[in-house]
Homo-oligomer: A and B are copies of this chain.
Amino acid sequence: MNTGITDYPFMQTFVSVDCVVLGFDKNRLNVLLVQRNTLTPDGKDLKLPGSLIYQREDTDEAAHRVLNELTGIKKMTLKQFKSFTSPQRTANPDDVAWLEIAYHNKIDRLITIAYLSLCKINRKLNIASKYKTVDWRPVDDLPQMPFDHNQIVNTALKEIRNWVENEPAILFELLPTKFTAAELRRLYEAVYDKRYDVRNFHKKMAGMDYIVPLDEKQEGVSHRAARFYKFDRILYNKRKTKI
């Protein structure tokens, strides 16, 4: 039945997952990059965390595996958002050389399924043995990365807006448990890449009844101490089922 691949222009390819993990440093969105131990000819070592998929796992499982290695969290919130499938992904011989050293296989084509995930930026990360460093880098100041990883991050930054609109709760995975209105506003500004008028933003917040003011205020700040708020998941879920 197998008459040989050469008869037909169909082909097998390697499939990977790449994860865009976003964090928020009270000012800007950051993305988690890893530096592989493997030497690369061109020194473009920083890349998105990712992996080829194993024989018996789907891409969701592969993405959870990659993130679990980094964060220790078994099941991080994640969202598959796009496949990147251009044959040009492996156009750079340096990228292919690195792949073949890292994976001990001849790889001439590689498609990747990209995932988006969110993580508190002060979370302690595991530097698994296969990485030299794991680092947060601001999304507006990224190095040139291998393959199409820069394009993947840019697509992720559009995708997160859709995600927030369908599921506002995910934003709170980027904030500390207690946060001020200004912190939440700056997060919205970072996600939507625009300014919010302070007064209008307070009105917007008032409409989100699952954001609950606490009896607690900032301490030891030079300006007027701001009130803390928390995200109330029970109220959020109630509201969600009403819609």
| A residues lining the B interface (CB < 8 Å) | 1-3, 5, 7-15, 52-60, 80, 82-83, 85-87, 100-101, 103-106, 109, 111, 113, 162, 166
Contacts and interface: CB of A to CB of B under 8 A. Distances in A.
A54 B9 contact: yes
A113 B83 contact: yes
Give how many copies assemble into the complex. 2
A104 B111 CA distance: 22
A160 to B, nearest CB: 14
Nearest to A110: B12
B113 A8 contact: no
The main secondary structure of chain A at its interface with chain B is mixed
Contacts of A8: 103-105
Contacts of A83: 59, 80, 83, 113
A54 to B, nearest CB: 5
Contact of A14 (B10, B105, B162): B10
Nearest to A81: B82
B87 A58 contact: yes
Contacts of A56: 87
A157 to B, nearest CB: 15
Contact of A59 (B2, B85, B100): B85
A83 B58 CA distance: 10
In this complex, the member of A5, A10, A101 whose beta carbon has the largest number of chain B beta carbons within 10 angstroms is: A10
